[in-house]
Amino acid sequence: MFESLTHDELASATGGRATCDLSGLPSSAQQIIARESGGDPTAKNPTSTAFGVGQLTIANRRALMGGNANSTDCGAQIQAFQKYTLGRYGSFDRALQFHKRNGWY
């Protein structure tokens, strides 16, 4: 269905920056994260408040992570990404299809 990315492939794609291990996620979720941040938990969008592996806005991070909204912890960010994506799209596959059509999710 979708190509799976290894942790090493993500690290290579981000120029060796520290990345989160996404190997336990479905390949469609990995692809969204690869497109959004390359797996970098400190990735910042220069034109919005989007931050982290899933590039969630501050409003979404606060709603999903509470007082840990600015955390760079991979586990916390991935959990918030999962809640957001599944809540909004119902599946990672649908979210990835939307991302491919629109360039964002």
**CATH of residue 44:** 1.10.530
Residue 92 covered by a domain: yes
**Cβ–Cβ under 8 Å, residues 88 and 96:** no
Q: Is residue 1 part of a domain?
A: no
Residue 69 lies in a domain: yes
Query: Which three-class secondary structure state does DSSP give residue 4?
Result: coil
Q: Does residue 81 contact residue 56 with C-beta atoms inside 8 Å? A: yes
Q: Is 58 part of a structural domain of the chain?
A: yes
For the chain, what is the mean pLDDT? Answer: 90
Residue 11 is assigned to a structural domain of this protein? yes
Q: How many structural domains is the chain composed of?
A: 1
The whole-number pLDDT of residue 18 equals: 73
Q: What is the total residue count of the chain?
A: 105
Q: Residue 70 — very low, low, confident or very high, per pLDDT cuts 50/70/90?
A: very high
**Any domain includes 91:** yes
What is the domain range of residue 86?
7-102
Q: Is the pTM of this model over 0.85?
A: no
Whether 2 is covered by a domain: the verdict is: no
